[in-house]
């Protein structure tokens, strides 16, 4: 059952733009988990995971299993962060926004 | 296709969902229902009855008797059951009619809607699912250590605010809304980050109060470190570290709501403060009250916006904005059938907002405001002299 149904077809295009456009696939240099990354500026970063990538990241898996994981689970994986930095340094990820997305 | 940069943009108001979210909903502090009377709670387009049985457990049923529709919330608690004011049919917390005082036997079909309940962090939570599933106890909000221990935490200050004319998704949208903290709540958000995963959505924020405005979080001496997570669609725990003139207080803010209709909800928030060492209870409670007032002001600032804004399904974002579309994608998992939940609604998503440029502009604006305020102050000192001359 659908919910919050947009009335205009352009809204679907907006949803695609903001959630999928310009995501670049980055592979973690350690665990090889593949995520989608976008950087609208030096400081801004979006990371889109998949269930497969989450299961592959030992850091996320460990934190989720921890007794007090409820709060820890939101921290970033430092190895993935380093892998993204490397991808930026290699020029594989272009920094910059395109009309706000 | 037409060039979108030359076209006028229109707001897509969308069509509101025809159902209420699946998940755990908090009805309020458990103790507030424990006075031997049936209580009415408006929820999910109807009314619920809440009462305490002889064992101290809370029962939650649909508020209307399945016999002739009597209002159980105006009935009487009799033993473990709630008796209807119309014909005294007695309903148990399992949803079964236990007794009809004037009848030989109770019809086998005398079953009403019963909600599964849990007491968590001193609050009463119920499971709601339009598909009628069993409650999922694995996704309950976490228990806050020591929060019920009055030696360690101050007593809860619990407030409710009914909201009319807005879908509760407006409240959820705040999770990603970096810039509104400056304009609506009068704080500079200096760090801002979101993580969505499974049934949780988190906002990390560091902020400091604006010196040019009072109210809300506006106070130059106030630094907040905030970590706020929604556990499901309607219950958020906000861990706050408040630094006021170097004095640090740990505050827990519960921000929860019950949808009451298609465009109304009951906002509830509770505050407890970890008692700082060396402070007596009176002072600790005073601090708790002060922060409850502050966050209460904050919610009212939001309400003023919600009550006047238009619903928008297609927000237009700039690159300083947070991930509204991804948050709404996450939120949608609670509104579709379980079978229709898409993997991307629950897949982990991380978003770091770049607050640097925004804060540069805001610092300039605030500096201008302070100069103007200063100038107005000086002018107002001179003015009375001129007026008195004019009058004489």
Q: For the segment A31-63, what is each residue's pLDDT rounded down to a tens digit?
A: 999 999 999 999 999 999 999 999 999 999 998
pLDDT tens for residues B133-158?
A: 999 999 999 999 999 999 999 999 99
What length is written for chain A? 101
Distance in Å, alpha carbon of B328 to nearest chain A alpha carbon: 9
What length is written for chain B? 392
Residue B392: per-residue pLDDT: 40
Q: Can you read off the two tokens belonging to residue B376?
A: 């107005």
Q: Is residue A29 part of a domain?
A: yes
Residues B49-69, mean pLDDT to the nearest whole number: 98
B195/A100 Cβ within 8 A: no
Sign of the torsion formed by the C-alpha atoms of B168, B174, B176 and B180:
positive
DSSP helix/strand/coil, B66: coil
Contact of B293 with B195, CB cutoff 8 Å: no
The residues, any chain, with a CB within 8 Å of residue B182's CB and separated by 6 or more, are B188, B189, B210, B358, B362
Indicate if the pLDDT at residue B201 is higher than 90.
yes
User: Which residues of chain B make contact with A70, given a CB cutoff of 8 A?
Assistant: 142, 229
Higher per-residue confidence, B376 vs A4 = B376
Q: Is residue A33 part of a domain?
A: yes
B313/A54 Cβ within 8 A: no
Domain ranges of chain B: 23-139, 157-356
CB-nearest to A11 from B19, B204, B313 is B313
Which listed CATH number (2.102.10.10, 1.10.3720.10, 1.10.8.60, 2.40.160.210) goes with B23-139? 2.102.10.10
Helix/strand/coil percent split, chain B, to 5: 25, 35, 40
Residues B92-103, mean pLDDT to the nearest whole number: 98
Indicate if the pLDDT at residue B4 is higher than 90.
no
Contact of B225 with B214, CB cutoff 8 Å: no
Q: What is the CATH number of domain B157-356?
A: 3.90.380.10
| B146 class by beta-carbon count within 10 Å (0-12 exposed, 13-18 middle, 19+ buried) | exposed
Q: Can you read off the two tokens belonging to residue B253?
A: 């803010």
pLDDT band at B389 (very low <50, low <70, confident <90, very high): very low
pLDDT band at B288 (very low <50, low <70, confident <90, very high): confident
B5/A99 Cβ within 8 A: yes
Q: Which of residues 221-280 of B touch A (CB under 8 A)?
A: 227, 229, 239
DSSP helix/strand/coil, B290: helix
H or E element at residue B366 = helix B356-391
- Average pLDDT value for chain B: 93
Distance in Å, alpha carbon of B245 to nearest chain A alpha carbon: 27
Indicate if the pLDDT at residue A1 is higher than 60.
no
Residues B351-380, mean pLDDT to the nearest whole number: 94
User: Chain B: residue nearest A49 by CA?
Assistant: B348
pLDDT tens for residues B103-112?
A: 999 999 999 9
Indicate if the pLDDT at residue A28 is higher than 60.
yes
Residues B12-41, mean pLDDT to the nearest whole number: 95
pLDDT band at A69 (very low <50, low <70, confident <90, very high): low
Q: What ipTM, to 2 d.p.? A: 0.95
Indicate if the pLDDT at residue B391 is higher than 50.
no
- Partner A contacted by B353 (CB < 8 A): yes
Sheet holding B264-273, edge to edge: A24-27, A34-38, A45-48, B349-352, B187-197, B200-209, B222-231, B235-244, B247-261, B264-273, B157-164
Residue B218: per-residue pLDDT: 83
Q: Is residue A96 part of a domain?
A: no
Q: Is residue A98 part of a domain?
A: no
H or E element at residue B294 = helix B281-306
Closest CA to B217 of B298, B303, B305, B302: B298
Q: Can you read off the two tokens belonging to residue B365?
A: 């604006």
Residue B384: per-residue pLDDT: 57
Q: Is residue A18 part of a domain?
A: no
Place of tokens 């809204």: A11
Contact of B241 with B228, CB cutoff 8 Å: no
Q: Can you read off the two tokens belonging to residue B129?
A: 């699912």
| B186 class by beta-carbon count within 10 Å (0-12 exposed, 13-18 middle, 19+ buried) | buried
Indicate if the pLDDT at residue B226 is higher than 90.
yes
Residues B281-298, mean pLDDT to the nearest whole number: 89
A19/B319 Cβ within 8 A: no
SS (H, E, C) A11-80: HHHHHHHHHHCCCEEEECCCCCCEEEEEECCCCCEEEECCHHHHHHCHHHHHHHHCCCHHHHCCCCCHHH
User: Which residues of chain B make contact with A15, given a CB cutoff of 8 A?
Assistant: 325, 329
Distance in Å, alpha carbon of A50 to nearest chain B alpha carbon: 5
Q: How many CB pairs under 8 A join A and B?
A: 127
User: Which residues of chain B make contact with A60, given a CB cutoff of 8 A?
Assistant: 348
User: Chain B: residue nearest A46 by CA?
Assistant: B351
Indicate if the pLDDT at residue B18 is higher than 90.
no
* Residue B306: DSSP 8-state: H
DSSP helix/strand/coil, B355: coil
Residue B240: per-residue pLDDT: 94
Distance in Å, alpha carbon of B363 to nearest chain A alpha carbon: 19
> What is the C-alpha separation between B250 and B102, in angstroms, rounded?
56
Q: Can you read off the two tokens belonging to residue B347?
A: 């897949």
Q: Is residue A4 part of a domain?
A: no
Residue B386: per-residue pLDDT: 52
Residue B2: per-residue pLDDT: 63
pLDDT band at B336 (very low <50, low <70, confident <90, very high): very high
CB-nearest to A18 from B325, B346, B348 is B325
Angle between helices A58-65 and A78-89 (to 10 degrees): 160
User: Chain A: residue nearest B14 by CA?
Assistant: A6
Angle at the Cα of B144 (from A67 to B193), degrees rounded to 5? 80
Q: How many domains in chain A? A: 1
- Partner A contacted by B47 (CB < 8 A): no
Residue B260: per-residue pLDDT: 97
């Amino acid at each position: 059952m659908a919910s919050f149904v947009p009335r205009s077809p352009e809204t679907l295009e907006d949803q695609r733009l903001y959630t999928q456009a310009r995501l670049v696939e980055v592979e973690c240099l350690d665990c090889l988990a593949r995520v989608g990354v976008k950087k609208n500026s030096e400081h801004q970063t979006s990371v889109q995971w998949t269930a497969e990538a989450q299961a592959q990241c030992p850091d996320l898996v460990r934190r989720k299993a921890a007794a007090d994981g409820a709060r820890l689970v939101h921290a970033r994986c430092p190895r993935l962060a380093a892998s993204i930095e490397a991808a930026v340094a290699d020029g594989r990820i272009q920094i910059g926004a395109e009309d706000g997305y | 296709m037409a060039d979108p940069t030359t076209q006028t943009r229109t707001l897509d108001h969308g069509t509101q969902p025809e159902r209420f979210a699946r998940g755990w909903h908090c009805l309020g502090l458990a103790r507030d229902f424990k006075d031997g009377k049936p209580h009415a709670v408006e929820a999910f387009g109807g009314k619920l009855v809440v009462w305490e049985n002889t064992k101290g457990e809370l029962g939650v049923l649909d508020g209307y008797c399945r016999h002739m529709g009597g209002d159980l919330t105006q009935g009487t608690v009799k033993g473990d059951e709630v008796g209807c004011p119309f014909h005294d049919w007695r309903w148990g917390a399992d949803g079964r009619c236990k007794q009809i005082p004037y009848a030989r036997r109770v019809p086998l079909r005398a079953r009403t809607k019963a909600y599964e309940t849990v007491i968590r962090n001193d609050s009463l939570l119920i499971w709601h699912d339009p598909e009628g599933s069993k409650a999922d106890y694995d996704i309950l909000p976490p228990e806050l250590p020591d929060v019920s221990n009055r030696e360690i935490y101050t007593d809860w200050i619990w407030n409710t605010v009914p909201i009319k004319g807005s879908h509760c998704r407006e409240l959820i949208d705040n999770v990603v809304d970096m810039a509104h903290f400056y304009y609506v709540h009068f704080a500079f958000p200096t760090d801002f980050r979101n993580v969505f995963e499974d049934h949780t959505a988190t906002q990390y924020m560091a902020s400091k109060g604006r010196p040019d405005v009072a109210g809300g979080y506006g106070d130059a001496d106030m630094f907040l470190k905030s970590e706020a997570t929604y556990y499901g669609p309607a219950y958020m725990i906000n861990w706050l570290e408040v630094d006021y003139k170097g004095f640090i207080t740990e505050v827990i803010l519960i921000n929860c709501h019950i949808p009451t209709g298609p465009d109304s909800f009951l906002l509830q928030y509770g505050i407890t403060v970890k008692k700082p060492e060396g402070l007596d209870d009176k002072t600790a409670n005073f601090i708790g009250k002060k922060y409850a007032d502050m966050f209460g002001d904050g919610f009212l600032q939001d309400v003023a916006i919600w009550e006047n804004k238009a619903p928008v399904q297609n927000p237009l974002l700039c690159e300083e904005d947070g991930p509204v579309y991804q948050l709404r994608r996450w939120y949608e998992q609670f509104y579709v059938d379980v079978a229709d939940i898409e993997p991307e609604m629950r897949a982990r998503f991380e978003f770091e907002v770049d607050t640097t440029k925004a804060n540069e502009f805001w610092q300039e604006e605030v500096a201008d405001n302070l100069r103007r305020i200063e100038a107005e102050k000086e002018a107002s000192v001179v003015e009375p002299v001129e007026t008195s001359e004019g009058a004489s």
